[in-house]
Chain A
Amino acid sequence: MKTGIVVFPGTWSDRDCAYAVHDLLGEPARFVDHREQTLEDLDLVILPGGFSYGDYLRCGAIARFAPVMEAVQRFADRGGLVLGICNGFQVLQEARLLPGALLRNASCEFRCEWVNLRVEQTTSPFTRALRVGQVLRLPISHGEGNFYADPGTIEMLEASDRIVFRYATAQGRISDDANPNGSACNIAGICNARGNVLGLMPHPERACEALLGGSDGLLLFRSAIAALEGAAV
């Protein structure tokens, strides 16, 4: 199983993702330049956080047109695992690989803090090794993470079990107080219909060592790796 980490101009979490996947979990990984047009050697593609193309126009709006995004689309279509973190989530929405959009935080503030996430479903390869209701502690770091979708889309996401993570209290209760950015229905992460494309605002790659405050982020990477290895047998 091999991971590719896409690097756009302005991406900044690529090294952290490589550290988590390669250094900590010992899995092969390589950086993918935004001009690359094929991802055929890969099983998992990560679109990391950052400010691709300076977030000009809208977060992710320009990155969506990078040559690599056509390859990401094909990769997702053939069932490859795609993980969009923070700016990567914004890029996936701009590319229409995931529905909705991420608005400016309701507080208008950039929020950089640890949050609690409740796991809402475990059918996605990224959460298969978790359990429903489990609370993960991960950091967020964003100014535009306020999940929005029209009511019909949110209903569809609920009905098809595509809401993967919600902001919650440490006890797993969904409340306004636990919502750091005003996201509709406390949504922190969603997946596509097939489950192989996941986008989330929190940063699992920054929560991979006790020394840095927690290691719950590793659970997502481990889950994806296990799902891929299971699929390969």
Chain B
Amino acid sequence: MFRAECIVTLKRAINDPEGSTIRSALHALGFGQVDDVRAGKFLELTLDVDDRAQAQAMAEAMAAELLANSVIEDYRITLTQIEAPAGAGAT
């Protein structure tokens, strides 16, 4: 099995008011060195797939079709092979 972690953020060219607001709050806390903050979404998907290439292709397809809106967002995917939970895949 694989765990696919998908991070979705607004495209760089698009103003991110949520990120700017968080940056202002961090500055107010005294973290003035924070130059930029980008807010986004984190999605963790567990895929019942044994083949890495297939898992990658699936995650890419899901991100392109639903998880991110290509008009405004970019995404990046990280795949990690994981153990099947106990009891799964019983014969």
Residues in chain A within 8 A of chain B (CB atoms)? 57-58, 61, 65, 93-94, 99-101, 103-108, 148-150, 182
Quick check: which of B28-36, B67-75, B81-89 contacts chain A, the rest being far away? B67-75
- A148 in contact with B17 given A57-B66, A58-B69, A103-B72 (CB within 8 Å): no
How many interface contacts (CB-CB < 8 Å) are there between A and B?
Answer: 34
CA distance A107 to B72 in the complex (A): 18
Interface size on B, residues (CB 8 A): 12
Q: Does B15 reach chain A (CB closer than 8 Å)?
A: yes
Q: Chain A residues near B10: list those with CB within 8 A.
A: 103
User: CA of A233 to CA of B69 in the docked complex: distance in angstroms?
Assistant: 42
Give me the interface of B with A, judged by CB distance under 8 Å.
10, 14-15, 17-18, 21, 41, 66-67, 69, 71-72
CB-CB under 8 A from A104, the residues of chain B are 17-18
**Contact at A94–B69, with CB atoms within 8 Å?**
yes
Q: Report the minimum CB–CB distance from A54 to chain B (whole Å).
A: 14
Whether A103 pairs with B14 at a CB distance below 8 angstroms is: yes
- B17 adjacent to A105 (CB under 8 Å): yes
Given contacts A57-B66, A61-B66, contact A108 B71 (CB under 8 A): no
Further contacts, 4 of them, CB under 8 A, given A101-B71, A148-B14, A148-B71: A57-B41, A99-B71, A149-B71, A182-B17
